[in-house]
Homo-oligomer: A and B are copies of this chain.
Amino acid sequence: MELDERKKKILQAVIRNYLETGEPVGSRTISKYTDLNLSSATIRNEMVDLEEMGYIFQPHTSAGRIPSDKGYRLYVDTMMEEKEREMVEMKEMKEMLVERQNKIETLLKQVARVLAQNTQYATMISAPRAKRSKLKFIQLSRVDACQLLAVIVIEGNVIKNNILPVEEELSDETLLKLNILLNTHLNGLSIDEINLAMIAVMKQQAGIHSTIVSEVIDALAEAIRAEEDLEIYTSGTNNIFRYPELADQQKASELINTFEEKQLLGELLQETRSGEEETGIQVYIGEETPVQSMKDCSVVTATYELGGGMKGTIGIVGPKRMDYDKVVGTLRTIQSQLDELYGGNKEEGHSMEEEHSMEEEHSMEEGHS
């Protein structure tokens, strides 16, 4: 059987209507809703065909039709009209984000919250993976006799700390040399690039100093690589209660658990399936999602970039009858917002700086006079 133009129109009408109401939609409704000027009986015939083709189904005999996963898929792939008009609403989002956070963590939490409020779905956002971006600065300092503090700054001013235990105390001089050694060798490398060969070279050069240094290098290398905890922030979890089809105890409990045990979300947020969309927006409908507990949901993910190759993923989780148009539009917008704000320059706190500079000019002048 073929999916002709009329069938498409009817299917689209069914889906649109269902997205709005959440109720099974009957033939009579469609007959009035569309501009096809067909009677309900004709619609019914077409609906039987659509059901046979698997795009819609009835929850029970003599109920209206509901889109199937396949139906949603077709809709998302070919029928969706992104709501550019959402852009207007989004201005306020921009305003909220414009107070630029000097910590990425704060920024991401903010984004998650704003998105959740704006869409009324649950949101999650993964921090950029450090592995891919480059080391900018490393510093070892002595905290006390038997502990070193290693501070690692990664492009985008992401900062990682580690306390390294050491057996015997290092002299100031050794520490200084070690710092220079580390920075000259590792600076500009991505974490992925720090391999055994590289470590071996450093150790060899350091070997002349002492064995303890080599130990420290080992510990540090391990610490850098272990620093892979994939932080994920979520917001609006309780939005799932807005949608009766997700709000029953069984499902709600599972979903909330998934959102709490954030590593369960990793699968969704980690794989940047270089899918059809070059924009990095992915839609998972129902059973398509890799996370079991979300098989009654739809998930839309988007990758974002903060400059310097720091990529992360944003996800929006809602019922299968989510407003795909709006969600995709919103994600596009936020992508470009983030790109606009952070994409160009790698430095952070820049806009803050500008604010400061006003005041500071004053103080400078005062200082001078």
In the complex, what residues of B have CB within 8 A of residue A235's CB?
A: 260
Per-residue interface assignment for chain A, residues 190 to 205, with 1 indicating a CB less than 8 Å from any chain B CB and 0 otherwise: 0000000000000000
Contact partners of A356 in chain B: CB under 8 A: 165
Least CB distance from A65 to B in Å reads: 27
Which residues between 182 and 237 of chain A lie within 8 Å of chain B, taking CB atoms?
A: 211, 215, 234-237
> Which A residues between 12 and 53 are near B, CB-CB below 8 angstroms?
none
Is A110 on the interface with B (CB-CB < 8 A)? no
Given contacts A256-B237, A260-B238, A137 and B165 within 8 Å (CB-CB): no
- Nearest residue (CB) in B for A122 is B260
A237 CA / B238 CA spacing, docked (Å): 12
Chain B residues with Cβ below 8 Å from A336 are: none
Q: Chain B residues with Cβ under 8 A from A215's Cβ?
A: 360, 363
- A233-272, CB < 8 A from B: 234-238, 241, 247, 249, 252-254, 256-257, 260
Q: Do residues B253 and A165 form an inter-chain contact, with CB atoms below 8 A?
A: no
Copies held by the complex? 2
CB-CB under 8 A from A146, the residues of chain B are 347, 350, 353
User: Does A118 touch B at the CB level, under 8 Å?
Assistant: no
Bound together, the chains give a CA A350 to CA B241 distance in angstroms of 46
* Contact, CB under 8 Å: B143 / A149: no
Residue picked from A102, A234, A238, most chain B C-beta under 10 Å: A238
Known: A260-B234, A260-B235. A153 touches B159 (CB 8 A): no
Task: Report chain B residues within 8 Å CB of A349.
Answer: 147, 163, 165
Report the nearest B residue to A210, measured CB to CB.
B367
Q: Is A323 an interface residue (CB 8 A)?
A: no
User: In the complex, how many angstroms separate the beta carbon of A93 from the nearest chain B beta carbon?
Assistant: 19
**Beyond A139-B139, A144-B347, A149-B153, 9 additional pairs, beta carbon < 8 A:** A139-B151, A147-B349, A165-B350, A165-B352, A165-B356, A167-B357, A215-B363, A238-B257, A256-B256
